[in-house]
Amino acid sequence: MSRPTVAITGGAGFLGSHLCERFLAEGHQVVCVDNFLTGSLANVEHLMAEERFRLVRADVSLHLVIPGDLDAVLHFASPASPTDYLRLPIDTLRVGSNGTFNALELAKEKGARFVLASTSETYGDPLVHPQPETYWGNVNPVGPRGVYDEAKRFAEATTMAYRRAHGVDTAILRIFNTFGPRMRPFDGRAIPTFVRQALLGEPITVAGDGSQTRSICYVDDLIEGIVRLCNSDLDGPVNIGNPHELSVLALAEWIRELTGSTSEIEFTPRPQDDPTVRRPDITLARTRLGWEPRTPIEEGLLRTIAWFRRHQPSWRAEEATAHVDLTTAGT
């Protein structure tokens, strides 16, 4: 990679911290920017002794100033789980709007490549299946999920405006459901919720009848796709996700089996605007980036379960910050 200095907003979050590790492993200098609203120092603490790693505590919605040269700005700052954006709706909208403006201004000032972490949520509850990048989506802007969906859609529009008006070298990636180590046990998403409940022997709560589908991608594969997009001249949007689709009920049963749990399956009300189907069309990523997921889902789930087992003693501190009803937060 010809870009030796990379700034990652939201760098102490689930995906951001894995990106910090990856770029450091490739010999780059990394500036991790986070306000720790949903990120965790524990995710990057092991990187602090690395001289090429720098941690900046800042709210990108307010300002973003990084001295020196930058070759890439990866904008990953945002509450991303239902629990977080339902609890922090205004912060979610601000980071998608003001935060994106500030990150783009930084990239413009430095002449850096800019990569926006967008989401499959821009497709809403899709009427086209699987979802190609050309699909405009079916989003409810006034529903509870709208704060996240519309923040990302606005961020995409802003990114394209900077590309057209200012010539900023931009890229947009749309991330589909991703899982792996460092997910928070109480973040409201399906996999950490199911793993936590299974390990504790609690009922595994499945929304609705569990027939709604998701396509889940192991974090290492997602990071590889992001790095390839950053290294390319592709502007996107580009879907990065695993096209292997399964029902939420099948996922819950699979996790129960892999954990050796005897937990019962308990069905709960389906959240408003919860997508019925979700599967990425990754033709563009395959043809332009030479990317597709490589990690078998079962292998990824076993790695994730093992990580959750090791960190189980720290769950109570996390539970104290979970303010949303986790049985109805959605996936």
Q: Catalytic amino acids?
A: 148
Q: Write out the two tokens for 97.
A: 């709007």
Residues found in the chain: 331
Q: Let me know how many helices (H) and strands (E) the chain has, helices first.
A: 11, 13
* Measured distance CA(187)–CA(192) in Å, rounded: 7
SS (H, E, C) 279-314: CECCHHHHHHHCCCCCCCHHHHHHHHHHHHHHCHHH
Rounded distance, CA 224 to CA 178, Å? 13
The two most distant CA atoms of the chain are separated, in Å, by: 57
Mapping DSSP onto H, E and C, the string for 220-254 reads HHHHHHHHHHHHCCCCCCEEECCCCEEEHHHHHHH
Alpha-carbon torsion (327, 40, 117, 306), positive or negative:
negative
Rounded to whole angstroms, the Cα distance separating 249 from 255 reads: 10
